[in-house]
Chains A and B, each alone.
Chain A
Amino acid sequence: MHIMEGYLPVTHAVGWGIASGTILTYCVWSVGRSLRSRPQDKFLLAASSAYMFTLSALKLPSLTGSCSHPTGVGLGAVLFGWRPMVVSGFIVLLFQALLLAHGGLTTLGANLFAMGIAGAWVARGVYSLARTARLPFRVATFLAAALGDLATYVVTAAQLAWAFPDPAGGFVASFTKFLGVFAITQVPLAVAEGLLTVLVMNALMAY
């Protein structure tokens, strides 16, 4: 779920841009350093980014029948860790904007924060927690992907609520409204993404 181009006021666009930009810069530096010792990962990382982008460009059936797309961040965070997923998320969001006019450039910072950063952190965190709690691998993967997806949606709603507080109810009222409007598509999608991620993991094990 993305914030569309032009939706955020200038101050918000710049603010999120700086926040995400800083974290992205760190991640690019850090991943670049580890790629120097493992150059073959470059192709695999790009292949998984391409997978994420391809999934997002597909019209997958969802329960509400709307056009929707999983993020793949949860899967990547489990496979590669959160740092590469921040870079990957950035590339996928940029591609969506430049190839499909989906999302946007002025909202790229905010969207990256919600999808690449918050999504990857939550997915990776949930996965680690679930593994420490000795949950089975499949359950852990499902939770990581589904909750990572939900985190993206909650953060996006919060970003929008912050930008457009309700005249009376303020942030909280607005946050509730945005959560409500997008819940119809996003909650089933999070579950679908969790399930798909488990399927992908099964296929990868065979590979």
Chain B
Amino acid sequence: MNAREIYDPDNRWRLRHPAEKAVFAGGMLLLSVAAPSGVVLGVVLATVTATTLLLAAVSWRKFAGGMAAPFGFLLVGAIPVLVASGVNPDTQEAEWRLDVAAAGHLVLRGLTATACLVSFATTTSLPEFLGLLRAIRCPEVLTEWMLLTYRFSQSLLLTVASAHLAQQLRLGLGSPRARVRAAGLLGANLLPRSFEKAKRLERGLECRGYDGQLRTLSPRRRVSWPVLGLVVAVQILLAAWAVAAGRGNL
């Protein structure tokens, strides 16, 4: 757990089965990518945002934090679409114009899809997600690799935070040049440190009977079928609406 991770440990869905959260966010994500109409996108965006903030009680700070960074990238990425060159039908000459509709739609779609992702990320911890992957029989190589990656990245992020603080205290972040030097030192020495931690963990787990496999049992949680049914029903309705709206556009 670190400052940048957007998972909200106090969300009201933390004890829900991850499958419910995955179906909710995943279904909405598919809808937002596939829906051709801006109105449907708007409805999906509103539904996901409201559900996450009101029902799951995710702190709006976490939610907004999750939305903020991608938003900037979304805008920058839309510039090439916004600035379209076209052929003037009267003069038959190429000219520049602003394709606000296309760019706007792209930004809205990106925003809606990002809201779905943020909804899942704020309500579901990575270990829960890994439990889900194990349940659907994802290859062990991959789940174990992810588990260890998560484990190591948690401790590396703590290390980075302390080292960063120590550098700050020793005037390391004063000038741009000092900043680059400080980041270079930290970045370069983090990998050997990470390897060191890896070796120590392997030995520590050996003491606990590690023989090449990282078996664990997740805490018991039950899927609530009524909730799952409701989620799927809403999504089917939205999909039907999207199909109807899409036909109107064609």
In-complex A–B contact (CB below 8 Å): yes
Within 8 A of A (CB), among B93-121: 94, 99, 102, 106, 109-114, 116-118, 120-121
* A105/B29 contact (C-beta < 8 A), A46-B148, A60-B183, A98-B121 known: yes
A152 interface hit (Cβ, 8 Å): no
Q: Which of A6, A40, A102 has the most CB of B within 10 A?
A: A6
Contact of B198 among A5, A46, A57 (CB under 8 A): A46
Contact of A104 among B114, B160, B184 (CB under 8 A): B114
Contact of B149 among A10, A46, A182 (CB under 8 A): A46
Query: Which residues of B lie under 8 Å from residue A75 when comparing CB positions?
Result: 191
A133 interface hit (Cβ, 8 Å): no
Query: Which residues of A lie under 8 Å from residue B4 when comparing CB positions?
Result: 57, 99-100
Q: Residue of B at shortest CB range from A101? A: B66
Q: Give complex CA distance A173, B84 in Å.
A: 9
B219 interface hit (Cβ, 8 Å): no
Query: How does the 8 Å CB contact mask read for B129-171 relative to A, with 1 for contact and 0 for none?
Result: 1000000000111101110111111001100100000000000
Q: Give complex CA distance A60, B181 in Å.
A: 11
Interface footprint category on B: 35 or more
| Contact between chains at B33 and A6 (CB < 8 Å) | yes
B239 interface hit (Cβ, 8 Å): no
Residues of B within 8 A of A (CB): 2, 4-7, 26, 29, 32-34, 66-67, 69-70, 73-74, 76-77, 79-81, 83-87, 94, 99, 102, 106, 109-114, 116-118, 120-121, 124, 126, 129, 139-142, 144-146, 148-153, 156-157, 160, 176, 179-180, 183-184, 187-192, 194-199, 201-202, 212
Known contacts A4-B70, A9-B33, A43-B199, then 12 further A-B pairs from the complex at CB < 8 Å, ordered by chain A residue = A6-B112, A46-B148, A50-B148, A61-B176, A61-B180, A95-B146, A99-B126, A100-B5, A100-B6, A100-B121, A101-B6, A168-B94
Residues of A within 8 A of B (CB): 2-10, 13, 28-29, 31-32, 35, 39-40, 42-51, 53-55, 57-58, 60-61, 67, 75, 87, 91-92, 94-95, 97-102, 104-106, 160, 164, 166-169, 173-174, 177-178, 181-182, 195-196, 199-200, 202-204, 206-207
